[in-house]
Structure 1
Amino acid sequence: MLEGINALFLIGGLLLFVSVMATRVSARLGFPLLLVFLGVGMLAGEEGIGGLRFDSLGGAFMVGQLALAVILLDGGLRTQWQTLRLSWRPSAVLATWGVVATVLPLGLFVTWVLGVDWRLGLLMAAIVGSTDAAAVFSLLRNSGVRLNQRVLATLEVESGANDPMAIFLVTAFIAIIMNPADAGVLSFLGMLVQQMGLGLLAGVIGGKILAKLMQRLHLAEGLYALLILSGGILMFAFTNLVGGSGFLAVYITGIFIGNQRSHATEHVLRVMDGLAWLAQASMFVVLGLLVTPSRLFENGWHALAIVVFLMLVARPLAVYSSLYWFRYQKREVAYISWVGLRGAVPITLAMMPWMMGVNDSRLLFDVAFAVVIVSLLVQGASIPAMARLLKVSLPPQPEPKEEREIWLDEEASLQFSSYEVQAESDAEGRHPDAVATGLDAVAVRCFALMRQRTPEPLTPETRLQVGDIAWYFATPEYVEKLAEQFYQTGNATRTSQHFFGEFVLPPDALAGDLADAYGLVLSAEERNLSLRHLFKARFEGMPVEGDRIFIGEFELTVKETDDDGRMEWLGLKVPTKKTAAKKA
């Protein structure tokens, strides 16, 4: 028995090790990482080179549920209040009506394509009808593209909140198939309200309690992450047991904890990031072991037809009908429609009818698995390209190479951050302390310099060279400004000017002064407004970085906002002769 246990540990460790190492190849090829984990599992399975036979539906379902809980907890920890304020209304509509609006047309199409009963067709649509938090959080954050904040917030909050509706629809259609006599509309609506309400209530209460514990308890550093992980799983399981949505509860729990900054926050986020990766890898490897590749090829054409209809018809209709009243731009709606990523959630949901003995449930599982693979291949791999094509991406933002946060007490912290000197940056050739002079020579100080992986003494004659890594301590408000000194190269400046414009203006400047300087036509009422209020008067909705308005042929673009979403700087793009001639 001991040998069998050790063999199991050996196989599990080997699969995870190979999966993690394979991510290096995946990153270079632009291949979605989640597919790497799936591929490793399939290769190790009974039809792969490993030849392992794994057919434990219950075991795979348990791993999937636990992993999704950890991933949603980590996603909640990284969701800021500003993100929720910006997108909770449209995201809530997408997470409810959007799922229903996806399932209805897709269900009719599946019924026709597969030639099955309409109830089975709607069940298949419900299984693949919601976006997947694991796929969205992973692929968006590792895509290398910086999205418009409104688009990013909508996608992340939608994916974190739509699981309850998907589970409700799958449960309802299984009940209609298995026990049609007991299936009533009122009972289904009551179940939905119960799941949503209890999930929301449990998440708020659990999140507040755990956030307070994080502030007041003094534990060994390694125990804070375990406290949050165990508390999140506790809320997930308890909410499920009382009839609520555990997925919604654990996501909201994470939101409350992540927005209550304390001395333990940084350590928890770093550990939770690793745990979330472990959860994703374990879940997708196990799901890869469960599937039979030959059956995927048998249903490949059906899956391809379904995923094409889902991507090009059902999802766009659902997103358009959900966001119509929220004043999103057409290109933003198109991108949100495209990034309707499917991942582990549809596969996990497809296990439910299989375990409950629904007829043709194995067909549903195989088709759902194939839909996930195609979705990750096509949509997941095209996230950066589609963002640039639809113009919802922003220029890269200067960031520290590494960051560390030291808490001085329960409320005050100091940021340690490192920066690599790039060619043509403002920092090149200057003394490390001189870089901080224009910011705050007291609040920003260099305390270490690495040159060719060797500590370099700081003397009055020290000058920064390309490739040097300088470590500074600074208060949080200066971290990004300091990064600009090291990364604001000539190319970056040209990219920023091309996007935001050649001039930077304070939002409190008077619109009439700008009109007089460039001969712009404004009404008497608009001339007396600040640029901030002029922008808000002409722009419908809450402006975010990258949003713009036109004053004649001049473009006024939000260049920077603060933590509360207030405009801090605006970019002004003056039309060139070529632009003016083209518009004329």
Structure 2
Amino acid sequence: MWINVAVLLAGVLLLLGITSSKFSARLGVPVLVLFLTVGMLAGSEGLGRIPFENYGLANSVGSVALALILFDGGLRTSLASVQQVWKPALALSTVGVLLTALITGLAASWVLKLPMLPGLLLGSIVGSTDAAAVFAVLRSSGLKLPERLTSTLEVESGSNDPMAIFLTLGLMGMITGRADSAQALALLFVAQFGVGSLAGLLVGRLATWAINRINLDYPGLYPLLALAFGLVAFGLAAVLGGSGFLAVYVAGIVLGSSSIVFRRGILSFHDATAWLGQIVLFVMLGLLSFPSRLLAVAWEGLLIALVLILVARPIAVWASAWPFRFRSRELAFLSWVGLKGAVPITLATFPLMAGVPQSQLIFNAAFFVVLISAITQGWSLPLVARALQIGRPADPIPALSVEINALRHVDGEILDYTVNAKAPVAGQQLRDLALPDGVLVTLILRGREVLMPRGTTTLMPGDHVFVALRISLEPLINRLFDPDPEPSALPSDLPLSFNPATTLAQLHRFYGLPLPLEMAGSAAAQSLEALLAQSAPGDAPGNAHGKALRVGVLLIQAGAEPEHVTVLIARHLLPFQGHGGDIAHQ
């Protein structure tokens, strides 16, 4: 009978969690706070009166739920983003966590009148930025932040758990008198990062190979296959003494950055599992709390939280990330978004299970600090971003993504773009978009009207534009529909082919290529074919190679990156066959 009651309660709590997410944006409260509130209301001191104080079970369930969240976060973090920000993210996840833990721990020792080591233990528990909280808040904030800033936050939060675990375990050993030697602690540190990264990398590559070659009879099994590999990465690293959290995140990055079959289905499934993980995790942690105990440490917890948010995190960020040329307002934003969430509460159960003296006080204080962090930092994130003039409102979520690489890998996909009024394509006819070869607008939905695209069709704000394209061209086409595209160099090995009627003005407007001063005005309206047909001084008649180089030199003199010139003008010779041919990068 009790199992039926448990299933009923689980279903009710899940429904309440999902329903609460609907009101998150309207109330201006992060979803994780609402999930925690649902759990606290259902707990032993809330309206539900559900007794739950099993810290071991909470630790186990919380670890699995966090693994699901991290795996989904890794799937959505591109390898290119990691390569761009790994240095500042690594500095924040090591030196930053250490400084945050040290400063917060000293404050906790003074405020709670604890000995030095227990105070530092509390600082270590709340020292890391929580991936579940960061992913949840960034997802529900309604903001589109600069790519480098978003990637830094995501990679930092996904990779700083090993440092927090290392500090927590090391201090627990010192407090209980079971501390290992300095050499053993150093090996623990190396194992947390090294084994976790290596296990994630190997399992991620194995998952990519298996998903593309297994050829399952039932398409619905592909998302489960990816999930199985994520759990293998987590468990393998943990068994070998490494960080399972880091391993599952790295495995997600490797798999998500690879070309795999059923990509859209896999991402959609793991989006749902991540939401499930967040709901289960935060509702369960809410059940674990006792409001009366939290109120008993409210003033002390508030002081510790203020030191953490206003002193420790900013000092750690500026010391760790300043050398990597972040702007002052970006450093200020990084300082504010040091969100705490499930990981600190999960780590706070370690001292309880190990019998560390005053562990209940440490748990209650850590829980209260997490609540303050989630409410203040999570709720105010959009306000702080606007005050610092960082980011803009996020684009609407596409209504549909069509999966075309089913049982076999196909180098192509169909994407649904919503035309923003400020996007470069708004108000433009299709024939004027300078679309490269390998891109085709297949369908346009305007309200309830279905439009068959023609060259004279004008894209209007609110239109849903279905675009078939080669996968490698997606970042390029994303620029056309982005109301505020960020400057970015195109890969020099990206195969592109433009119609010879394409003009430099079109390439400048839609793809951000700098316009040479010598080609301003009427010259910019000339087609690439016409420009290449012009003889440069000193060129032999018919020397197409010299003509191509002449255009390339002009572009470089105007400030264009060589990679842009390589892509758009070609490294050696741009062959074209009359008016019907293409200007191609071979």
**Distance in 2 (alpha carbons) for counterparts of 1:341 and 1:30:** 16
1:344-395: per-residue Cα shift (whole Å, max 9, x none)? 0000000000111111111111111111111111111111221222233257
- Does 2:463 match 1:435? no
Q: Which moved more, 1:349-358 or 1:199-208?
A: 199-208
User: What are the within-5 Å matches in structure 2 for residues 362-401 of structure 1?
Assistant: 362-394=360-392, 400-401=398-399
CA contact (8 A) 1:32 1:381 kept: yes
- Deviation of 1:292 (Å): 0.3
The answer to whether the 8 Å contact 2:215/2:407 transfers is no
CA contact (8 A) 1:449 1:456 kept: yes
The answer to whether residue 410 in structure 2 is matched with residue 412 in structure 1 is yes
Q: Distance in 2 between matches of 1:54 and 1:397?
A: 41
CA contact (8 A) 1:405 1:413 kept: no
Is the 2:92–2:156 contact (alpha carbons within 8 Å) kept by the matching residues of 1?
yes
Shift of 1:324: 2.9
Q: Please list, as runs of the form range in 1=range in 2, the aligned pairs for 1:119-518 lying within 5 A after superposition.
A: 119-179=117-177, 182-219=179-216, 220-394=218-392, 400-407=398-405, 410-419=408-417, 435=430, 438-440=433-435, 453=448, 469=464, 471-476=466-471, 507=513, 509=515
Match of 2:559 among 522, 527, 531: 531
Contact 1:400 1:483 in 2 (8 A): no
Task: Please tell me whether the aligned partners of residues 130 and 166 of structure 1 are also in contact (alpha carbons under 8 angstroms).
Answer: yes
How many Å apart are 1:439 and its aligned residue? 4.4
Question: How far apart are the structure 2 equivalents of 1:459 and 1:435?
Answer: 7
| Amino acid aligned to 2:134 | V
Unpaired stretches in structure 2, ≥5 consecutive residues = 488-507, 521-554, 568-586
Which deviates the most, 471-480 or 318-327?
Answer: 471-480
Q: Structure 1 stretch 189-198 or stretch 311-320: which is displaced more? A: 189-198
Identity %: 40
Maintained 8 Å contact 1:335/1:390 = yes
Cα gap change, 1:97 to 1:263, in 2 (>3 Å): same
Take 1:424 and 1:173, find their aligned partners in 2: how far apart are those partners? 53
When residues 233 and 332 of structure 1 are mapped into structure 2, their CA distance, relative to the original with a 3 A threshold, is same
**Which ranges of structure 1 fall in alignment gaps of 5 or more residues?**
497-502, 515-526, 537-557, 563-584
Q: Equivalents in 2 of 1:15, 1:272: separation in Å?
A: 21
Q: How many Å apart are 1:29 and its aligned residue? A: 1.8
Distance 1:464 1:346, change over 3 A: closer
Deviation at 1:264, TM superposition (A): 2.2
Contact 1:206 1:235 in 2 (8 A): yes
Q: What residue identity is the alignment partner of 2:50?
A: L
| Residue 403 of structure 1: how far off its partner (Å) | 2.2
> In structure 2, what is the Cα distance between the partners aligned to 1:424 and 1:243?
51
CA contact (8 A) 1:512 1:528 kept: no
Question: Does the 8 Å CA contact 2:430/2:457 hold for their aligned counterparts?
Answer: no
TM-score with structure 2 setting the length? 0.78
Q: Secondary structure at the match of 1:103?
A: helix
8 Å CA contact retained: 2:425, 2:433: no
Output the CA distance in 2 between the equivalents of 1:131 and 1:18. 27
Give the whole-Å Cα distance in 2 for the aligned partners of 1:507 and 1:423. 22
Q: Residue 436 of structure 1 contacts residue 445 of structure 1 at CA under 8 Å; is this kept in 2?
A: no
Rate the CA distance shift 1:66–1:428 in 2: closer, same or farther, 3 A.
closer
Secondary structure of the 2:412 match is strand
**Could you say if the C-alpha distance between residues 124 and 442 of structure 1 is closer, same or farther in structure 2, counting changes exceeding 3 Å?**
closer
**What is the rounded CA distance, in whole Å, between the counterparts of 1:270 and 1:101 in structure 2?**
38
Q: Does 1:61 align with 2:89?
A: no
Change over 3 Å in CA distance of 1:481–1:356 after alignment to 2: closer
In structure 2, do the counterparts of structure 1 residues 363 and 74 end up closer, same or farther at CA, with 3 Å as the change threshold? same
In structure 2, what residue type is equivalent to 1:106? T
Matched AA of 1:193 = V
Q: Give the corresponding residue for 1:70.
A: 68
SS of the counterpart of 2:23? helix
In structure 2, what is the equivalent of residue 117 of structure 1? 115
Q: Is the 8 A contact 1:232 1:254 kept in 2?
A: yes
The 8 Å contact of residues 436 and 482 in structure 1, kept in 2 or not, is answered as no
Q: Any conservation in 2 of the 1:80–1:259 contact (CA below 8 Å)?
A: yes
Alpha-carbon distance, 1:185 to partner:
2.4
**Partner AA of 1:276 in structure 2:** A
Distance 1:359 1:52 in 2: 27
Residues 1:222 and 1:315: Cα distance change in structure 2 (over 3 Å): same
Partner of 1:551: none
Change (3 A) 1:196 1:475: closer
In the superposition, relative to structure 1, how do residues 436 and 300 fare at CA in structure 2: closer, same or farther (>3 Å)?
farther
Q: 1:14 aligns with which of 12, 15, 23?
A: 12
What SS does the corresponding residue of 1:381 show, helix, strand or coil?
helix
CA separation of 1:458 and 1:125: change in aligned 2, threshold 3 A: closer
Please report how far the alpha carbon of residue 215 of structure 1 lies from its aligned counterpart in structure 2 after TM superposition: 1.5
Closer, same or farther in 2 for the Cα pair 1:238/1:418, shift >3 Å? Answer: closer
Q: Distance in 2 between matches of 1:389 and 1:424?
A: 22
Within 1, Cα distance between the matches of 2:517 and 2:155? Answer: 36
CA distance in 2, matches of 1:340, 1:14: 32
Structure 2 equivalent of residue 548 of structure 1: none
Q: Which amino acid aligns with 1:226?
A: L
Say if 1:57 and 1:508 are closer, same or farther in 2 by CA, change over 3 A: same
Residue identity opposite 1:45 in structure 2: G
Specify the alignment match of 1:48 in structure 2: 46
2 CA distance for matches of 1:326 and 1:458?
Answer: 46
| Cα pair 1:408 1:414 within 8 Å, conserved | no
Cα RMSD of the aligned pairs, angstroms, is 3.6
Q: Normalising by structure 1, what TM-score?
A: 0.79
SS in 2 for 1:336: helix
Contact 1:436 1:444 in 2 (8 A): no
Distance 2:379 2:399 in 1: 26
Contact 1:439 1:478 survives alignment (8 Å): no
Alpha-carbon distance change, 419 to 5 in structure 1, aligned in 2, over 3 angstroms: same
The secondary structure found in structure 1 opposite 2:386 is helix
Q: 1:512 to 1:312 in 2, by over 3 A?
A: farther
Give the secondary structure class of the aligned counterpart of 1:531.
Answer: coil
Matched with 1:552 is: none
Tell whether the 8 Å contact from 2:212 to 2:409 is kept in structure 1 after alignment: no
| Matched AA of 2:314 | P
Q: Which amino acid aligns with 2:111?
A: V
Q: Is the 8 A contact 2:430 2:459 kept in 1?
A: no
Relative to 1, partners in 2 of residues 1:9 and 1:183: Cα closer, same or farther, differing over 3 Å? Answer: same
Give how far 1:471 is off. 4.1
CA distance in 2, matches of 1:464, 1:404: 21
Residues 1:426 and 1:391: Cα distance change in structure 2 (over 3 Å): closer
Corresponding residue SS for 1:39: helix
Structure 1 residue 508, shift from structure 2 partner? 5.5
With over 3 angstroms needed to count, the CA separation of the structure-2 counterparts of 1:410 and 1:42, relative to structure 1, is same
